[in-house]
Chains A and B, each alone.
Chain A
Amino acid sequence: MSGSAPNAPNVLDALDRRLINALQDGFPIAERPFSEVADRLGMDEAEVIARLERLLEDGVLSRFGPLYNVANMGGAMTLAAMRVPEARFDEVADLVNGYVEVAHNYRRDHRFNMWFVVACETPEEIAAVLADIEARSALPVLDLPKEEEFFLELKLSA
């Protein structure tokens, strides 16, 4: 994977791992939330904050904060896939990535080799973005919106 420059997992110490695992389960909504987390882990508030800063800076954590569900805000989201000829891959990746509505884009090892998430405020805007990508790239786009979500949780142990 070449999209990020991860640090080796062995730079994490035992407290980092406990902190990452604990924070995947949720973070309190309280006046001094870091202090509550620190108490649970037998750490000190300032140390929790300092470790989080370092983990974010090192790229071990990609994000810290509320995770929003766009669909429940009344927004719309879809997963889209394209079969891009190898010779045009970079050009089409630049075209797709140029849309602010495209949140993630992954290359995958398959004849459908480009997979991206489109998030907008309305389903009509999603349709317009996909149609625009089709028109500009002259390639078809598969629209694969989620119809049902069975579970979604990050539960990777650190």
Chain B
Amino acid sequence: MTANAHFDAIDRRIVAATQGGLPLCRRPYAAVAEGLGLAPDEVMERLRRLQSLGVVRRIGAVPNHYALGYRANGMSVWDVEDGRVGELGRRVGALDFVTHCYRRPRHRPDWPYNLFAMVHGRDRAEVADKVGRIAELLGAASRGHDVLYSTKILKKTGLRLRGEKEG
């Protein structure tokens, strides 16, 4: 990793050691530090810095949507005027039921959509209702949309950074 000068080899080892999760013990950061031959304070200090740089988005729990009863997952995709997608994307992303919201490139003619908003619900009817609220918010700035429901997880391993320079 050279593209970010604020991210050095020790940071990288900390990421590789924790990307699978934090150990569940009373002093989890000290346990990580011990595995890496570092002082606990150094691990905590670096994690704080990585969090302030946005390399660590947050530290916490990721729930399994399905286990919480959110069985329907609809990726809503919208063809929004380029001049307004920034402003409208922020408003869509702020809706409390939208978990991810991104602007992505169109690939016409196959793919005219440039705004993606992920919506979870207990069933498809609930997702459809929430998508309707996004449609209202976008109004005439959206020239078309679609909803892609997930029907199967084919793979889910999370992101994996290789440790050090192996492989």
Contacts and interface: CB of A to CB of B under 8 A. Distances in A.
Interface of A: 1-4, 6-7, 9, 12, 20, 23-27, 29-35, 45, 49, 52-53, 55-56, 58-70, 72-75, 77, 79, 81, 93, 96-97, 100, 102-110, 112, 114-116, 119, 121-122, 142-156, 158
Nearest to B62: A63
Interface string B102-125: 111101001100001000100000
Nearest to B124: A109
Given A4-B66, A60-B67, A150-B89, A103 B154 contact: no
Contacts, number: 270
B149 A109 contact: yes
Contacts of B40: 31
B146 interface: yes
- Dominant SS among interface residues on chain A: mixed
B154 A105 contact: yes
B63 to A, nearest CB: 6
A65 B99 contact: no
Given A29-B51, A119-B160, 7 more contacts: A59-B64, A59-B67, A65-B59, A68-B159, A69-B55, A102-B155, A152-B100
B31 to A, nearest CB: 11
Instruction: Name the interface size band of chain B.
Output: 35 or more
Contact of B62 (A58, A62, A119): A62
B148 A32 contact: no
A142 B107 contact: yes
B163 interface: no
A49 to B, nearest CB: 5
A68 B57 contact: yes
A155 B99 contact: yes
Nearest to A52: B24
Contacts of B30: 31
A127 B153 CA distance: 24
A45 B25 CA distance: 10
A116 B157 CA distance: 12
A63 B70 CA distance: 17
A74 B2 contact: yes
Nearest to B5: A74
Contacts of A107: 150-154
B152 A2 contact: yes
B70 to A, nearest CB: 6
A55 B75 CA distance: 27
B69 to A, nearest CB: 4
Contact of A108 (B15, B69, B71, B150): B150
B156 A74 contact: no
